[in-house]
């Protein structure tokens, strides 16, 4: 899992949705912010308790102005858990995304990572220009 200092800020406009079985006939729908994403894994934060070895079926949703980008049915294995206040950071390794019978899932994950990279680049440029602007004022 990435260092805690890198996990302070959530990724912009990106969430993970998944269901957790609660009882015999009840499921709870959970939304969690993502703090890291690459082609093999992600880091998410939630107050729900999982243990390493648990499997999650994630829907990754990138909020966009017109139409959201959604990668549905990403299977992941919880590999690490770290407590942070009343929440937990979970490292989740994706299970066989590339060998998935529907290559559109892999394409959607790639698109989400590309858009995320552009958003982070814009955000960092804005923070640099605003900090240099405040220094000159």
- Distance from chain centroid for Cα 95: 15
134 within a domain of the structure (yes/no): no
3-state secondary structure of 125: helix
131 within a domain of the structure (yes/no): no
137 within a domain of the structure (yes/no): no
Residue of 24 and 74 predicted with greater confidence: 74
Which long-range CB contacts under 8 A does 27-30 form with residues at least 24 apart?
none
130 within a domain of the structure (yes/no): no
44 within a domain of the structure (yes/no): yes
Domain that holds residue 43: 4-125
User: CATH number for the domain including 77?
Assistant: 2.40.10.220
Rounded to 5, what percent of the chain is helix, strand, coil?
30, 40, 30
Tokens of 3: 């260092």
Q: Is 13 left (phi over 0), alpha (psi -120 to 50) or beta?
A: left
**Cβ atoms of residues 2 and 79 within 8 Å:** no
Residue 106 has pLDDT above 60, yes or no: yes
56 within a domain of the structure (yes/no): yes
Q: Give the count of domains, the chain.
A: 1
59 within a domain of the structure (yes/no): yes
| pLDDT band at residue 128 using 50, 70 and 90 as cut-offs | low
Of 41-50, 100-109, 128-137, which has the strongest mean pLDDT? Answer: 41-50
| pLDDT band at residue 5 using 50, 70 and 90 as cut-offs | very low
| pLDDT band at residue 3 using 50, 70 and 90 as cut-offs | very low
What is the distance between the alpha carbons of residues 137 and 83, in angstroms, rounded to a whole number?
41
| pLDDT tens, position by position, 38-95 | 988 999 999 999 999 999 999 999 998 888 999 999 999 999 999 988 899 999 999 8
87 within a domain of the structure (yes/no): yes
**Cβ atoms of residues 34 and 42 within 8 Å:** yes
């Amino acid at each position: 899992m990435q260092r805690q200092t890198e996990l302070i800020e959530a990724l912009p406009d990106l969430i993970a949705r998944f269901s957790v079985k609660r009882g015999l006939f009840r499921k709870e729908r959970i939304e969690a912010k993502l703090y890291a994403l690459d082609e093999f894994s992600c880091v998410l934060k939630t107050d729900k308790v999982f243990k390493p070895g648990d499997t999650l079926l994630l829907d990754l949703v990138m909020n966009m102005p017109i139409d959201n980008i959604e990668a549905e049915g990403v299977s992941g294995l919880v590999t690490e858990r770290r407590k942070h206040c009343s929440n937990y950071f979970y490292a989740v390794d994706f299970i066989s995304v590339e060998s998935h019978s529907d290559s559109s899932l892999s394409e959607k994950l790639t698109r989400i990572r590309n858009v995320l990279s552009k958003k982070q680049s814009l955000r960092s440029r804005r923070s640099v220009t605003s900090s240099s602007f405040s220094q000159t004022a």
